[in-house]
């Protein structure tokens, strides 16, 4: 509530974080109507935040169906946040990259479980169905408050640097950077952990594969940043006193 009624004053107030103005002398009915409107807006925001929490829980539930993918989304979110910071992603956008990583496969709720858990290679029909999951996932996360940032990550995490990915055939920097980040950390995590169709690969083998396909499947600059980061983490573990390393394993 203010006695200032000039446009420049209102602009300054909005820039400072005010949501609305009531100019003195105020009208009681107007004041009550504006407060009611503000409360409705807050309720809507709270509901969106609740939806975001429900989707995170849903992603975890989908993951829990397959013991081989346990903690996959959480590991991805951690790697994605690290890589986003290293890549210079705007600080305000970094959390959305983490959410995008956690929710990247939420569209698999629309895919047959028989396909998701098939122990052998998928046939053409099954691959066509599997490739629907990024678009399904993007539609699911669009209602979130940060949906405009998260949905392109979910939709684009199977695009390829050379333009041969899906669902839109985007190439190089037309692929949202969050999607490029998630595609790298997703591939690395998938390679280094067991899957129904094969055992997990050694870290060195997975890293060599990232190097082999950088510039075709993945953004080459982001691959280099990620591999440098993994090397730093490995060096830190080697330098860590043995009793502390053992304690962290027990805690984690």
CATH number at residue 129: 1.10.3210.10
Q: What is the pLDDT of residue 4?
A: 74
Buried-state track 179-189, b at ≥16 Cβ within 10 A, e below 16: bbbbbbbbbbb
Confirm whether 65 is a catalytic residue.
Answer: no
**Is 58 contained in some domain?**
yes
162 belongs to a structural domain: yes
Asked if pLDDT for residue 117 goes beyond 50, the answer is: yes
Q: Is the pLDDT of residue 246 over 80?
A: no
User: How far is CA 158 from each of CA 64, 103, 123, 180, 249, rounded to the nearest angstrom?
Assistant: 22, 14, 18, 9, 32
pLDDT tens digits, 36-66: 766 765 655 555 455 566 666 677 666 655 5
Q: Which of 65, 108, 118, 214 is catalytic?
A: 108
Tell me whether residue 20 is in a domain: no
25 in a domain, yes or no? no
CA distance 144 to 138: 11
Assess if residue 43 is contained within a domain: no
The whole-angstrom separation of Cα 240 and Cα 235 is 9
- Residue 189: domain span: 52-251
pTM summary value? 0.72
111 to 8, 117, 132, 190: CA distances (angstroms): 54, 11, 8, 19
Residues near 101 by Cβ (< 8 Å), separated by ≥ 6?
73, 76, 77, 79, 80, 81, 153, 181, 182, 185, 186
Q: How confident is the model at residue 250 (pLDDT cuts 50, 70, 90)?
A: very low
For residue range 65-116, what is the model confidence (pLDDT) as tens digits?
555 555 677 788 889 999 999 999 999 899 899 989 988 988 888 888 888 8
Identify the CA nearest to 45 among candidates 128, 146, 187: 146
pLDDT digits (tens, 9 = 90+) for 199-245: 788 999 999 999 999 999 999 999 999 999 998 877 666 554 544 44
Number of domains in the chain: 1
Q: Is residue 47 part of a domain?
A: no
What integer pLDDT is reported at residue 48 of this predicted model?
47
For residues 7 and 10, give the distance between their C-alpha atoms in angstroms, rounded to a whole number.
5
| Cα–Cα dist 159/181, whole Å | 11
Residue 16 domain-assigned (yes or no)? no
Does a structural domain hold residue 96? yes
Q: Nearest to residue 131, comparing CAs of 95, 156, 162, 98?
A: 156
Q: Quick: pLDDT tens for 124-174.
A: 999 999 999 999 999 988 887 788 999 999 999 999 999 999 999 999 999
Which pLDDT value is given to residue 68? 54
């Amino acid at each position: 509530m203010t006695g200032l009624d000039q446009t420049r004053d209102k602009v300054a107030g909005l820039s400072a974080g005010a949501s609305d103005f009531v100019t003195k002398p105020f009208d009681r009915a107007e004041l009550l109507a504006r407060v009611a409107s503000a409360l409705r807006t807050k309720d809507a925001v709270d509901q969106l935040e609740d939806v975001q929490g429900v989707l995170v829980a849903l992603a975890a539930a989908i993951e829990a169906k397959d013991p081989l993918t346990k903690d996959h989304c959480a590991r991805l979110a951690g790697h994605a946040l690290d890589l986003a910071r290293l890549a210079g992603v705007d600080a305000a956008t970094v959390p959305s990259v983490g959410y995008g990583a956690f929710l990247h496969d939420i569209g698999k709720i629309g895919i047959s479980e028989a396909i998701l858990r098939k122990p052998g290679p998928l046939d053409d029909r099954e691959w066509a169905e599997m490739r629907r999951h990024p678009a399904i996932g993007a539609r699911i996360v669009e209602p979130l408050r940060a949906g405009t940032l998260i949905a392109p990550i979910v939709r684009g995490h199977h695009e390829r640097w050379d333009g041969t990915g899906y669902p839109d055939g985007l190439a190089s920097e037309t692929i949202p950077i969050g999607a490029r980040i998630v595609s790298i950390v997703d591939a690395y995590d998938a390679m280094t952990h067991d899957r129904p169709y094969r055992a997990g690969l050694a870290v060195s083998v997975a890293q060599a594969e990232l190097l082999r396909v950088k510039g075709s499947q993945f953004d080459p600059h982001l691959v280099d940043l990620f591999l440098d980061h993994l090397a730093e983490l490995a060096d830190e573990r080697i330098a860590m006193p043995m009793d502390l390393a053992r304690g962290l394993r027990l805690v984690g």
